Amino acid sequence: MSELPSPPPDLGYTHALNRALHAEMAADDDVFLLGEDVRVGASGVTSGLMPKFGPERVLDTPLSEQGFTSFGTGAAMAGKRPVIEFQISSLIYLVFEQIVNQAHKFSLMTGGQIQVPVTYLVSGSGSRFGWAGQHSDNPYSLLAHAGIKTVVPGRPADAYGLLRSAIRDPDPVAMFAPSSLLGSTDVPDSGEEEIVPLGEANVLREGGDLTIVAVGQHVGTALEVAESLSDRVDLEVVDPRTVYPFDWDCLRKSVNKTGRLVVIDDSNRMCGLGAEIIATAAEEFDLLAPPKRVCRPDGTVIPYALALDKELVPGPEQLTKSISAALNL
Amino acid sequence: MTREHQLALYRSMKLIREFEERCLEMAIAGEIVGGMHPYIGQEAVAVGVCSNLTERDFITSTHRGHGHVLAKGAESRRLLAELLGTLEGFNKGRGGSMHAADMRLGILGANGIVGAGGAIAAGAAWTAKARGNSEVVVSFFGDGAMSQGVLLEAFNLAAIWSLPVLFVCENNMYATSLRCDSGLAGNAARRAEGFGMVARTVDGMDVESVAGVAGELIERCRDGAGPAFLECLTYRFFGHHSVLEQLGVEFRDPDEVATWRKRDPIVSLGERLGDDAVAEIDAAVKNEIDEAVEFAKNAASPEPKDALMYLYSGTAAVRPGVVL
């Protein structure tokens, strides 16, 4: 078979995920990959794995998401460590039963007899502009709500390090890779090879006036906004990296220092991740002003037309406005 | 079949029957809190199929799974302890009737979602094959599962990847209260053949027939011939769930039930074995279940503070549901 191409090296985030898969498959023979188009690496994330590891470890599946998701569960119960790629985030709805009601529950229901170490790699989550209603959602809050360990890395180094941790974890872990970062050349793959543990947030910018919690692609948004406002306010940017379990200690320290909180995340407002962060902050942290959140509207369905799509997805203007409101600027 | 083999089949069926009759009493009395889905009448299927398996082989089971679990070799006293929600149960009281699993015996869990075990079985079978091992996986499900899309997806995966899975459809004529001929278009075995599988239909009230045909199909799987399908025509003597017995709900023609009861697989085999052999086994089984009841009733309950123990394999800290 001819050598299949690696993703172009300027696609930083994609390349980092690809490097992590190569590394983890090389490190552990029990790790294998399955999903649609993984042989040809249609998303770029799985490029080059087939020629390197062969068809016994790179399984191109039929279009049977429910079947192959529980297939992964069975393989994991028997001792393998499957990584399942979903190229479209909305497929998570189709396999909610298989992840939430099956894989997640076996450990408790069997009194600890069974572990299900599967990684669900959602390789293009959120709007990718022009893909309309059924290809633009960001359902990580749903999995976090159900108790699935869930990571949404905002930078290539974290994507690399968290994917390796996810694969090594004894429980099911979902990783959501934001579409806008997969195709981006803005943040190049640093080539860092550090393993990033699940459940640890990262303070990317220190500041004393207000804490911004930014998730996924909005890590970049928050850093830009913080920089643009740096002549007026001193903003702290926290990237949770793992949205469940959430690093509450890190956030508590930050908010108790700054006294103010704005959350930007690309999930829907109702019962979304932002709601949980703000509720916890209200219950437990020392706030000097009402916290704000920047998120999608309730129950969002992304329309096709570009202007409508962009209207519903959070961005820097909304974040700036919320920061101003929280600080009475 | 040797007399020794017949005696073993009889003993296993009788154990399931005695266990379930006792459970049904305890469920109706409220001692088994979630109730149970009685397997009574279908014993020949579990016993006939599992008589061809070793401890290293795997099974996936159903919400009506006590028979499969016992036929695979699970201890009756630990299964009953699980049904009473105690720490001596296989699942330490966290699974109960619908989720009984003993991983040491390759039991990948009974499952409360109809048809959910098929794809799990395919994944376990792929792992065995990838490791070059000779284990097979048997996936039990009812006729109702034949209408679940995910099971048909599992047939496809097992067939294209030539996996060592025997899919066993226990056609007991009812999917909860819906008659099979109202819920299943065409024929279960013909459907399976459509996936390129060898499919056989057998009298599920005759344990020797089930054991024989299942044995042939399991050997095919073991020899690398890919998946196979076995439909066992059987009947449950009671309703869907013990709650229906409590409420007195009956949705079947009493004559139909009576006709099938005359074909009781345990009585049939017992007649061939003779009264003395049967009496000896029956007494031993009754004794085992008496002891199981004693064991389970004396087992310790889990501590309420440990309600979420085993949720995660690692040490993920779960926050409490109420913050004061």
CB pair distance less than 8 Å for A71 and B91: no
C-alpha distances out from residue A229 to A52, A145, B41, Å: 47, 34, 75
- The residues in B 258-297 lying below 8 A from A, measured between CB atoms, are none
pLDDT of residue A7: 66
The four Cα atoms B39, B42, B43, B46 give a dihedral, to 10 degrees, of: -90
How far apart, in whole angstroms, are the C-alpha atoms of residue A262 and residue A244? 19
Please check whether residue B167 touches A, CB under 8 A: no
For residue A73, what is the nearest residue in chain B, using CA coordinates?
B120
Please check whether residue B150 touches A, CB under 8 A: yes
How far apart, in whole angstroms, are the C-alpha atoms of residue B117 and residue B113? 8
Active site residue ranges of A = 65, 135
Question: Per residue, what are the HEC states of A230-278?
Answer: CCCCCEEEEECCEEECCCHHHHHHHHHHHCCEEEEEEEECCCCHHHHHH
CB pair distance less than 8 Å for A110 and B128: no
Q: State how far residue A245 is from chain B, nearest Cα, in angstroms.
A: 7
The four Cα atoms B23, B25, B26, B30 give a dihedral, to 10 degrees, of: 130
Give B302's contacts in chain A (Cβ within 8 Å).
none
Please check whether residue B101 touches A, CB under 8 A: yes
Tokens of A216: 């996924």
Cβ contact A114:A291 at 8 Å: no
pLDDT in tens, A147-205: 999 999 999 999 999 999 999 999 999 999 999 999 888 888 888 899 999 999 999 99
pLDDT in tens, chain B (324 residues): 899 999 999 999 999 999 999 999 999 999 999 899 999 999 999 999 999 999 999 999 999 999 999 999 999 999 999 999 999 999 999 999 999 889 999 999 889 999 999 999 999 999 999 999 999 999 999 999 999 999 999 999 999 999 999 999 999 999 989 999 999 999 999 999 999 999 999 999 999 999 999 999 999 999 999 999 999 999 999 988 888 888 888 889 999 999 999 999 999 999 999 999 999 999 999 999 999 999 999 999 999 999 999 999 876 678 888 766
Q: E strands along chain A, which residues?
A: 31-35, 58-60, 81-86, 119-125, 149-151, 173-178, 202-205, 210-214, 235-239, 242-244, 261-268, 292-296
- The reply to whether the predicted model has a pTM over 0.80 is yes
- Across the A:B interface, residue pairs with CB atoms under 8 Å apart total 153
Give A101's contacts in chain B (Cβ within 8 Å).
113, 116
Give A252's contacts in chain B (Cβ within 8 Å).
none
CB pair distance less than 8 Å for B91 and A110: yes
Cβ contact B121:B108 at 8 Å: yes
Neighbouring CB atoms inside 10 A of B270's CB total: 19
- Could you tell me the strand order of the sheet in which A119-125 lies? A58-60, A31-35, A81-86, A119-125, A173-178, A149-151, A242-244
Give B156's contacts in chain A (Cβ within 8 Å).
62, 64, 67
The closest alpha carbon to B71, from B88, B83, B55, belongs to B55
Please check whether residue B93 touches A, CB under 8 A: yes
Q: State how far residue B309 is from chain A, nearest Cα, in angstroms.
A: 7
Neighbouring CB atoms inside 10 A of B12's CB total: 25
For A262, residues 6+ apart whose C-beta sits below 8 A from its C-beta are A210, A211, A212, A213, A291, A292, A293, A294, A319, A322, A323, A326
pLDDT in tens, chain A (329 residues): 444 456 666 789 999 999 999 999 999 999 999 999 999 888 889 999 999 999 999 999 999 999 999 999 999 999 999 999 999 999 999 999 999 999 999 999 999 999 999 999 999 899 988 899 999 999 999 999 999 999 999 999 999 999 999 999 999 999 999 999 998 888 888 888 999 999 999 999 999 999 999 999 999 999 999 999 999 999 999 999 999 999 999 999 999 999 999 999 999 999 999 999 999 999 999 999 999 999 999 999 999 999 999 999 999 999 999 999 999 88
At B167, is the secondary structure helix, strand, or coil? Answer: strand
At B314, is the secondary structure helix, strand, or coil? Answer: coil
- The residues in A 148-167 lying below 8 A from B, measured between CB atoms, are 149
Q: What are phi and psi of B289, to 5 degrees?
A: -70, -35
